[in-house]
Structure 1
Amino acid sequence: MSRTQKESNVHKVKIQQTYWAKDTTEEKMIEMGAIRTGKVVEEEEYYDTDSYDLAVNESWLSKTGKEWQLIIDKMKATMHEINSPIQKTSGIKGSPKTPNLLNFQRKLKHDVQKADQNGNTDCETTSRNLTCYELVEEKEIVAYLSRILHIDVGSDSGKIGNFLEMAGVQKYTSVSNVKEETFQLRDIYTVVIKADGISAKKSVVISLDVEIDNVTQGFQRIEELANELDLQAQYGCMTTALHSLWKTSKPL
């Protein structure tokens, strides 16, 4: 069998490690010759009434794709009997024009980062530490908005489109957010920078294709690159993925 045939039948695997990015990560990668090969951008729309009744009640409604979310100040939520554990926590992306939203955004991100630093990962502890709730089910969003806007939804309680039209709630701005960027570095590394869904941080996934006998050396090379980029290890949530990549060729 020729050398070319042997190489074409080598069993390779994809290995990867995940880190936290720093503000200088992308700049360093570009300086090292990284080439951007892909970008995922999502459009986030923000909704309110002409008189900003939602913002006045410290509530912010947004839509990404087909998914709605309503961020509610925890104290206001308690006043309106919304006191169940948080379903999902998320930093608000973008910079809509309502000043109160900017202040709330800073407060929310600070709370999430503080919870992360304290090592709080369970839902109950996070719920106590954060100053907001997030509703993601359309029926619950309609129910809450109907209370603060004093609108009887009747039989259309679960139809958010009908309710928003009835309440005079409409889109007032939209923001494009970069959700994910992919780079190729030194022809062998694939680096993906992702916006974290909870905090203001970004994660970095470095992957590399190696021969099955060189997995250990492959991880060492990834660690060396991570050190060059001054990345922070994700303690407690480091993951390694192995994906088989068979290379075959027809026999001569």
Structure 2
Amino acid sequence: MPGTSETRGELVEFLAVSVSPDLLELALTHRSYAYEHGGVAHNERLEFLGDSILGQAVTVMLFRENPDLDEGELAKRRASLVSSLALAEVAREIGLGRHIRLGRGEELTGGRDKSSILADTVEAVIGAAYIDAGGEAATELVLRLIRPLLTNPERFGAAMDPKTSLQELAARTGRGLPRYEVTDSGPDHSKRFHATVSLGGIDVAEGDGTSKKQAEMAAALDAWTALSQSD
């Protein structure tokens, strides 16, 4: 279930940005909830705006703080920091999933921890911050959310290329090569993919996405995280 008003207050305090309760509620409303509640407004327009704010803030930060990096390396780092996987990690770190308003179907299929939903909601919250608090406050929010990824070089590398990072970690720890099994569901125009990654014949993590690659990357990052914590 979505967070209570008390826990929502904890989220507001953490974000440290002045966003009206109604706009924050909108930012936390997934389209599945809107569909099941008479077509109320949902967060996709805010997500569209937040994506732009996020990209600009990260681009400017990387440009200013890395004068020795060329365009190609800057582009790689930006792509990793604004990826769905990275944003989902940010969302999990701040407990965003428990605040999202989801439809029953998404609730029953683990929507609160789906990387795509988490990442989209982060962008919507950034968009809401821009609307109510302005560009400077929204940029500051982006940097507060993203900087923890930069302080952990291993995490940064894993978010950039989780499949390679998992393969290297598995090799170092003698677990063999990762193997992926992917299934899909839904109509051709709106397929969802589910990946399971195994090591030594044992399933270690799962991931979802809108493409086979995204699902495998999500599973790989979860597996890398679990292995890193256990070693």
User: TM-score higher than 0.5 here?
Assistant: no
Larger radius of gyration: 1
Higher RCO, 1 vs 2 (CA within 8 Å, ≥6 residues apart): 1
TM-score by length of 2: 0.26
Q: Normalising by structure 1, what TM-score?
A: 0.24
Q: Which one has a larger percent strand, Structure 1 or Structure 2?
A: 1
